Amino acid sequence: MDRDILFAVRQELIEGIDEKTRDGASRFFKEEVRFYGVKGSLVRRIAAKYLQELKGEEKSEIFALCESLLRSDYGEEASIAFEWAHSLRRQYEPSDFYIFERWLKQYVNNWAKCDSLCNHALGSLIEMYPQFVEDLFLWARSDNRWVRRGSAVTLILPARRGDFLPEVFMIADILLEDKDDLVQKGYGWLLKEASRTHQDQVFEYVMRNKAVMPRTALRYAIEKMPEELRRKAMER
């Protein structure tokens, strides 16, 4: 059955190829990427359709299917894998953190995969088991740019709700002078989401660090603030 589902998923992706989508896919990435060229809305429909067929399957079985999809390196298959993994969030247990961490280190090779895994499956798991937030501090020091970006984007949704503010600042401290623009954008985005509920604290953080904070990260961090504060933050 498992092999049948993977075959069916891939058949539908091949049938759903849209030339315009395929030709435009690589525009958003600096690195070489692998896409069929299927519109996101159709990918989500395919993910939902076959998730229904997997109802009642063991979590370990579904995770094994996710890993098979990830091995292909296609962006659309990764989206489906991460969607399925996130759909099982009510069944997460602490050991799943290490599965997701391995997926991040082994299969994530562009910002879209990074954000898809970290925003949803990993973010949900950290909310359930906040002890793993300390592992994010180790990720922030990784040699792997996607793991460093992942340390920030895993907390995006909790930060948007006002949670984990001390940890947000600790991750930003570690990544503060990172030379990689996609890592800068990742922690800038994290600060921006934290600013929705903690504007004063994030503004103070930016003002305290703006002499060394890369402009890319700074611009992202202040994006949701009133114009007066944005202007003050951007002054040399």
Q: Which domains does the chain have, with CATH numbers?
A: 1-91 (no CATH), 95-236 (1.25.10.90)
Report the candidate in 159, 141, 163 with the shortest Cα–Cα distance to residue 151: 141
pLDDT at 30 over 90: no
Mean predicted confidence (pLDDT) in 4-10: 95
- What is the chain's Cα-based Rg? 19
State which amino acid sits at residue 119: N
pLDDT at 19 over 90: no
Q: What is the pLDDT of residue 1?
A: 54
pLDDT at 66 over 60: yes
Residue with tokens 């949803």: 120
pLDDT at 21 over 90: no
103 Cβ neighbours under 8 A, 6+ residues apart: 66, 67, 70, 117
Mean predicted confidence (pLDDT) in 138-160: 98
* Cα(229)–Cα(172) distance, integer angstroms: 20
Q: At what angle do helices 165-175 and 145-153 cross, to 10 degrees?
A: 160
Q: What is the pLDDT of residue 236?
A: 76
CA 223 to chain centroid, in Å, comes to 19
Report the candidate in 199, 200, 174 with the shortest Cα–Cα distance to residue 187: 174
* Cα(27)–Cα(74) distance, integer angstroms: 16
**Least confident stretch, 6-10, 20-24, 53-57, 139-143:** 20-24
Quick one: pLDDT band at residue 2, thresholds 50, 70, 90? low
Q: How many helices (H) and strands (E) does the chain have?
A: 16, 0
Quick one: pLDDT band at residue 31, thresholds 50, 70, 90? confident
**Least confident stretch, 19-33, 194-208, 209-223:** 19-33
Report yes or no: 210 and 218 within 8 Å, Cβ to Cβ: yes
**Least confident stretch, 15-24, 61-70, 119-128, 165-174:** 15-24
Quick one: pLDDT band at residue 226, thresholds 50, 70, 90? very high
Positive or negative, the CA dihedral 88, 89, 91, 92 is positive
For 81-127, what is each residue's pLDDT tens digit?
A: 999 999 999 999 999 999 999 999 999 999 999 999 999 999 999 99
Q: Please report, rounded to a whole number, the percentage of residues in the chain having pLDDT higher than 90.
A: 91
CA dist list (Å): 126 to 70, 148, 163, 173, 196: 22, 16, 11, 20, 20
Report the candidate in 16, 23, 20, 19 with the shortest Cα–Cα distance to residue 42: 16
Average pLDDT, the chain: 95
Helix (H, G, I), strand (E, B) or coil at 36: coil
Q: What is the DSSP letter of 110?
A: S
